[in-house]
Structures are given as structure tokens and as C-alpha cells.
Amino acid sequence: MTYQPGDRVALEHTTDPHTRLRPGDEGTVRRYDPQLQVLDVTWDSGSQLSLLLDEGDRVCRVPAPISDASWERALDALRTAGATAGRDAAGWWAQHVLGGRAPGDVTAAARLVLAGLNDVDPPALDGLPTADRYGLADDSDRYAEHAPPDAPPWEELTARQCDQSRWAWCDGYDDAVEAEAARQCRIILHPDSDDRDLSHVHPDRVRLGGPGVFAGDWAWMPNPQGELRVSVGFVGILVDTWNGWAVFTCTREVAEAIVADQADARDRYRQRLAADHIASERLEQVVDESMARLWFDGDVLVADSSRVHDDPDAIDQITPDPQGRYTVMGRAWTWTAVHPYDCDRIAGHIPDPPVLTAPEA
């Protein structure tokens, strides 16, 4: 072992019977002669005793103190490494639970896992990969691989620092597993494979002036698996309520999707009537008496409910507001906010949640 001026050392043993130094006393190296094995030390107690290392005197190095900022950088590096490992583990997990190797209905599994993550429900999360927070075998190797160059060696860490490094890696791992598992579940559940967190448009969180996904209360239909689904949800901004129902504005694109969906619904009803042997000359009249006709005349959306209400004046002309947005049959149809994951298709783009900024001091 060699020593450099400025190294900190602590006395382990000396053969000098007259010194007042005791084991554990610390000092700073002034000079080291490797040939003579003489170590000159300025001891913190004021002693200038030189040690004869080949005659039985012994010292040990005192680790250089690490600054709080430097140690936090080391912990951040370990968290990042743990997060990388966690994302990889969650990817393998998804292959077996949500991917091509998964048995059964993966949407049901995705709903269960996502609900468990949102509610911090342990039974729903038991199948996720977890870091071994109490296994010590890999700690030193992980530290050596991922700690930055200016971090102290593992052998010089205190017991507390060893624990901190272990838990930093494990925290990064577990947080990344949960985030990636949630992302994979959102991809499965969203009709457009959108992996964003859409909790801000959950029906319970839709507020006046905020975004939501809307559908008529009549839109719920069972799919082949018997689950109630909405064929298409429409993105809009909630601007009012009417008898408990939603009134929302939407873009021209979404308004056109509503028109198309109404036309599809009319067509399906027309086909059912034909299957029930309704005379062809009566088909259109029965459809008009049951469902409004919607169409665009330039920028004006025309809604003809005259036969539905047996009122020739029941024809609405819906014009866009100054922002070019339409209120389609607000206060006339029973619209309600729905969860995007309950829709087979989404018309319009769901905006990101607002970015919260810290208040100015």
C-alpha cells in the first residue's frame, strides 16, 4: 500500500511505548518513504510521531468525506440504473400478462392491474416484478457498476450509506416497474393505443371548463363478450349541465364524427326495421320519427327533429362559436361523460392535463 501527502489515516497499532497516541487517533500524511517504510504523519492531537511500518506500526486509511451533493449524485445514478432494470422487468412481465404470451382476456387483466395501481391495492399488484430489498449479494456489484467515478468505493461506505445505495436502486426499480406496467395497461385499454395517463378525463374528474369524453346514455351496447361498451366517444369541453346531463363544445372534426355516428345509428335502425318486414315506403318515416337527422350545410350543423317531436319548427341550426367549436344537441340529447377505456373508438384528441406551476413567492 502506498500513501500520498494529504491522505487521512487512523492509527491501528504502534510499537512506540512512549507515545500518547492511541488506536483510532487520526492524522494527515506529510511524507511516505516506500523504501524505508517510514510514514510521517501530522496527528490531529499535535504529535509528529513517524511510523515504522516494517517494524509493526499499522494505520488504516480514513475515507475522504463525501459532500452531500456528491452523494446525492451517486444515489441518483443508482436510482436511474434501478429504473432501467425495472422497465426491462416490466416489459417481460407484460409479454406474459398483456402480450402475445398472455392467456385469456388481456383487457380484463389490464383493468385489474391499472385499478390496483391507482388504488394501491396489494392483491392486484402481487404479480408485478419487485426488487429484492433485503438481498445483499448484488449490492456491491451494482454500486461498482453504476456509481459515478467520484463516488467513494463500496468498501469505504458506512453501513448507512450502504443501505441508502441499496434502497435507491430498489426504489428506482419498483417505481419504474409500476410506471411501465401502467403504461402497458393504458395501451391495451385505450382504443387508439394511447399510453398517456388519462385519469384527468375520468368521468368523476370532468369539471366545467375542462376536457372530457362524452357519449349519449343510449350509446352503451354489449360487445360479443357481454361487456357494455360505447362504440365511439367524443372529445369535448364541458360548458354546462342540463337536468344532470352534460353540455359540451367540440371541434368541427368531432362534430362531423357525431353526424357520421348518427347516420350509422339511423342505418342500423333502418336495417332492423327491414328485418322486421316494415314496408319500404314506411321505413324512412319510422326512422325519422325515432331519430333526428344531422347534416352540415357549409359551417352550419342542421339538426332536424321535426318528425321526432311532430313539430315542423323543431329544426336547429347550430353555428360555431368564435373559436370554431360546436355545441351539438346540448340541452336536447342526454350526453354523459364516459371513460375513454370504455370506448371502442375516440373521436378527437384528448388534451394533456394542465401543467401545475408553483405559486410565485
* DSSP per-residue codes, 297-357: ETTEEEEE-HHHHT-TT-EEEE---TTS-B-TTTTTS-EEEE-GGGBS-EES-PPPPPPP-
More confident residue, 159 or 296: 296
Percentage of the chain modeled with pLDDT above 90: 66
Mean pLDDT of 189-193: 88
3-state secondary structure at position 12: strand
pTM above 0.75, yes or no: no
Give the Cα-Cα-Cα angle 98, 99, 103 (nearest 5 degrees). Answer: 70
pLDDT category, 292, cuts 50, 70, 90? very high
What value does the mean pLDDT of the chain take?
90
Q: 157 is written with which cell numbers?
A: 461506505
Across the range 130-154, mean pLDDT stands at 85
Which pLDDT belongs to residue 358? 55
Q: Is the pLDDT of residue 360 over 70?
A: no
Mean pLDDT of 188-207: 91
- State percent of the chain over pLDDT 70: 96
Question: pLDDT class for 158, splitting at 50, 70, 90?
Answer: confident
User: How does strand 293-297 pair with strand 38-43?
Assistant: unpaired
Q: Residue 52: beta bridge partners?
A: 38
What's the average model confidence in pLDDT over 288-317? Answer: 95
| Residue 27 DSSP code | E
Q: Is the pLDDT of residue 99 over 90?
A: no
Question: Are the CB atoms for 139 and 166 separated by under 8 Å?
Answer: yes
Lowest mean pLDDT among 94-108, 139-153, 206-220, 322-336: 94-108
For strands 346-347 and 233-242, give the pairing. parallel
Q: What is the Cα–Cα distance from 94 to 115, expressed in whole angstroms?
A: 16
Mean pLDDT of 6-33: 92
pLDDT for residue 334: 96
> Is the confidence at residue 306, as pLDDT, over 70?
yes
Mean pLDDT on 62-89: 89
Cell readout for 273 is 326495421
pLDDT at 121: 77
pLDDT at 37 over 60: yes
| Span 131-138, average pLDDT | 78
Q: Is the pLDDT of residue 88 over 90?
A: yes
What's the one-letter identity of residue 207?
Answer: R
End-to-end CA distance of the chain: 55
What is the model's pLDDT at position 361? 53
Q: For 276-282, what is the mean pLDDT?
A: 83
Segment holding 15, helix H or strand E: none
Higher pLDDT pick, 308 / 133 = 308
Cα 63 to its chain centre, rounded Å, is 40
Report which residue type is found at 147: A
pLDDT score of 259 more than 80: yes
What is the spatial distance between Cα 20 and Cα 48, in angstroms, rounded to a whole number? 11
Lowest mean pLDDT among 138-142, 247-251, 304-308: 138-142
Q: Using the predicted structure, report yes or no on whether residue 218 has a pLDDT greater than 60.
A: yes
Query: What is the rounded average pLDDT of the residues 260-278?
Result: 91
**What are the two backbone dihedrals, phi and then psi, of residue 31, each rounded to the nearest 5 degrees?**
-160, 150
Where helices occur in the chain by DSSP H, the ranges are 68-97, 106-119, 122-125, 139-146, 159-189, 252-275, 280-290, 306-309
